[in-house]
A = this chain, B = another copy of it.
Amino acid sequence: MQNFNYHVPTKILFGKDKVADTAKEIKAHGSRVLLTYGGGSVKRIGLYDQVVKQLKENDLFFVELPGIQPNPRVTSVRDGVKLCRENNIDFILAIGGGSVIDASKAIAAAVNYEGDAWDFPMQKARVENPLPLGTVLTLAATGSEMNGNAVITNEETQEKRGMGSPLLVPKFSVLDPTYTFSVNQYHTAAGTVDIMSHIFENYFAPGEGTFVQDTIAESILKTCIKYGPIALEEPENYEARANLLWAGSLALNGLTLTGKKTGDWATHGIEHEVSAIYDLTHGAGLAIIHPVWMQYVLNEETAPKFAQMARNVWKVEEPDDRKAAEKGINAVRAFFNSLGMPATLSEAQIPGDHFDEMGKKACIFGKIGSFRRLDAEDVVAILKRAL
Q: Which residues of A does B touch, CB under 8 Å?
A: 1-18, 177, 208-213, 215-216, 218-220, 222-223, 226-227, 238-239, 242-243, 246-247, 250, 258-259
Contact = CB atoms under 8 A, between A and B. Distances in A.
Given A1-B239, A9-B9, A246 B212 contact: yes
Contact of A216 (B9, B15, B219): B219
Given A3-B18, A258-B246, A259-B246, A239 B209 contact: yes
A223 to B, nearest CB: 4
Nearest to A6: B12
Contacts of A246: 1, 212-213, 258-259
A243 B15 contact: no
A7 B12 contact: yes
B8 A13 contact: no
A220 B212 contact: yes
Given A5-B13, A16-B3, A259-B242, A219 B212 contact: yes
Contacts of A250: 212, 216
A211 B238 contact: no
Contacts of A11: 5-7
Nearest to A250: B212
Contacts of A4: 12, 14-15
Given A1-B242, A242-B259, 17 more contacts: A1-B246, A3-B17, A4-B12, A4-B14, A5-B11, A5-B12, A5-B13, A9-B9, A12-B258, A14-B258, A208-B239, A209-B243, A211-B222, A211-B226, A212-B247, A216-B219, A218-B219
Contact of A15 (B2, B12, B15): B2
